């Protein structure tokens, strides 16, 4: 791995008091197995990581030898247990990959025995339809399953486009592509604040972006571009729709839970300038919630029979090192919220269908063997809950709240939660290759 990329990974790990000593899937999985884990663990091979390994943060197409090296990494990851390959095409450096590179990655995973391509598609706003078409094209050309991750239409002017993108996924399914999507039951997304920067500023990774933001002329141009992009009179969503949830250091930790417009007023500057200052002070490490989706669109996506339920959240505890900031409530409330809001209130589907979307459908899509249904010979991953009363309690202002209505959770037949209380058991397994 390129030195700068490895340094960033190690720095991020130190934030969670981790010493990164593994350099392969097998070494990481072995560590998890040795330490023990409460839930089952599986992973995809990430394009961002493999690209960093072979080309660093370079904002360009890969050379032939680099593409070959990336394909070897992907095949090796699958042989060591990865379920397929994933791409995050709005993030550095994955967004520099073109269609040919994506097809090559997916094909490498398929050849190694994991025919699955999962993608945070290239655009979830103005170019959403083209982005979904690209993901489906990868699956068709590479002859793999396609998972369109946390499907949505972001930005008020794009609301309603999900009707057309879901139809496109459905048409692909009729052509024999194992295409599906997943969604979480909230109108806000959660990602890096840096995604609001112009793409030209972000080119080449964090260090290059920071250098540009520290240059007065480039910072002024970036601030103007961002201000125009989020101007409500020009179709933007405004700065009050972005809430900071966490920072990389303690310097600005008190800003967690504040909207960008409020931070700008406190700092006596414009919202765009506040974003630039915050990203510089935190070395680009700022997480934010973006209130960008329509409730009707969320229900529409969830209504598709091929839509899985997923939280799109990192694993966090209610206390300790992972409980910093004010994270998105989806971390603690996704699955109960589906029952409360979309089964009982909006009646998008019934409880049995909701369970299918959370269990057997994703298990089949991701190739998890002997899981996802209750039957003889299956692993006993079970949740005992009251489907008439289960509901989320986590909110954007107070996310560290457990849901109501879940009594017991069994993982591989062992109770991880009993009578609403975490047992401390670690019965989870690493599902290498889905097994």
Instruction: Identify the pLDDT of residue 4.
Output: 55
Q: How far apart are CA 181 and CA 297, in angstroms?
A: 14
Confidence band for 2, pLDDT divided at 50, 70 and 90: low
332-370 pLDDT tens trace? 999 999 999 999 999 999 999 999 999 999 999 999 999
* CATH T-level topology, domain 3-188+295-344: TIM Barrel (3.20.20)
Give which of 221, 432, 250, 403 is closest to 329, Cα–Cα: 403
- pLDDT computed for residue 267 by the predictor: 98
Alpha-carbon distance of 250 to 261, in angstroms, equals: 21
What's the pLDDT score for residue 113? 97
Closest CA to 104 of 133, 76, 62, 56: 62
In the predicted model, what is the mean pLDDT of residues 407-420?
97
- In angstroms, the CA 281 to CA 251 distance is 8
Q: In what order do the strands lie in the sheet with 307-309?
A: 45-46, 85-88, 116-120, 145-148, 179-183, 307-309
pTM: 0.94
Ramachandran sector of residue 121 (left: φ over 0; alpha: ψ -120 to 50; beta: rest): beta
Say if residue 295's pLDDT is above 80: yes
Q: Is the peptide bond before 93 cis (omega within 30 degrees of 0)?
A: yes
Q: What ranges in 216-282 are assigned the alpha helix state H? A: 216-229, 260-267, 271-281
Task: Summarize pLDDT for 254-289 with one digit per residue, the tens.
Answer: 999 999 999 999 999 999 999 999 999 999 999 999
For the chain, the structural domain boundaries read 3-188+295-344, 191-291, 345-434
Task: Give the Cα separation of 310 and 299 in Å (integer).
Answer: 14
| CB 138, CB 171: distance < 8 Å | no
Tell me the pLDDT of the chain averaged across its residues.
Answer: 95
Question: Encoding tokens for residue 86?
Answer: 């994933």
> Could you read off the pLDDT of 230-248 as tens digits, one per residue?
999 989 999 999 999 999 9
Is the four-CA dihedral 111, 113, 115, 118 of positive or negative sign? negative
pLDDT by residue (tens digit) across 4-16? 556 667 777 777 7
What is d(CA 427, CA 416) in angstroms, rounded to the nearest whole number?
7
């Amino acid at each position: 791995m390129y030195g700068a990329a490895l340094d960033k990974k190690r720095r991020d790990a130190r934030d969670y008091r981790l010493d990164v000593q593994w350099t392969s899937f097998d070494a990481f999985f072995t560590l998890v197995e040795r330490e023990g884990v409460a839930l089952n663990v599986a992973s995809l091979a990430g394009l961002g990581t493999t690209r960093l390994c072979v080309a660093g943060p370079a904002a360009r197409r890969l050379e032939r030898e680099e593409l070959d090296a990336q394909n070897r990494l992907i095949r090796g990851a699958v042989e060591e247990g990865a379920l397929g390959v994933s791409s995050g095409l709005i993030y550095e450096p994955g967004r520099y990959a073109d269609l040919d590179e994506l097809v090559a990655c997916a094909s490498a995973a398929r050849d190694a025995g994991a025919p699955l391509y999962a993608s945070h598609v290239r655009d979830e706003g103005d170019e959403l339809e083209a982005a979904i078409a690209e993901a489906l094209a990868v699956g068709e050309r590479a002859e793999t399953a396609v998972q369109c991750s946390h499907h949505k239409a972001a930005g008020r002017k794009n609301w309603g486009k999900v009707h057309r993108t879901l139809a496109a996924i459905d048409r692909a399914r009729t052509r024999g592509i194992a295409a599906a999507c997943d969604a979480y039951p909230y109108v806000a997304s959660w990602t890096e604040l840096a995604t609001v920067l112009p793409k030209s500023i972000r080119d080449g990774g964090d260090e290059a972006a920071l250098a540009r933001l520290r240059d007065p002329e480039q910072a002024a141009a970036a601030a103007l571009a961002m201000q125009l992009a989020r101007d409500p009179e020009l179709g933007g969503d405004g700065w009050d729709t972005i809430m900071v949830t966490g920072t990389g250091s303690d310097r600005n930790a008190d800003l967690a839970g504040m909207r960008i417009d409020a931070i700008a007023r406190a700092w006596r500057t414009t919202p765009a300038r506040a974003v630039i200052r915050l990203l510089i002070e935190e070395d680009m490490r700022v997480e934010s919630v973006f209130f960008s989706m329509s409730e009707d669109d969320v229900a529409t996506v969830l209504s598709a029979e091929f839509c899985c339920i997923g939280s799109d959240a990192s694993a966090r505890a209610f206390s300790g090192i992972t409980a910093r900031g004010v994270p998105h409530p989806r971390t603690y409330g996704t699955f109960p919220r589906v029952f409360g809001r979309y089964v009982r209130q909006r009646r998008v589907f019934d409880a049995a269908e909701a369970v299918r979307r959370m269990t057997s459908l994703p298990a089949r899509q991701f190739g998890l063997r002997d899981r996802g249904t209750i039957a003889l010979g299956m692993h006993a991953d079970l949740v005992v809950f009251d489907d008439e009363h289960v509901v989320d309690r986590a909110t954007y202002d107070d996310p560290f709240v457990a849901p109501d209505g879940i009594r017991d959770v069994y993982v591989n037949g062992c109770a991880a939660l009993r009578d609403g209380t975490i047992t401390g058991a670690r019965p989870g397994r690493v599902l290498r290759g889905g097994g």
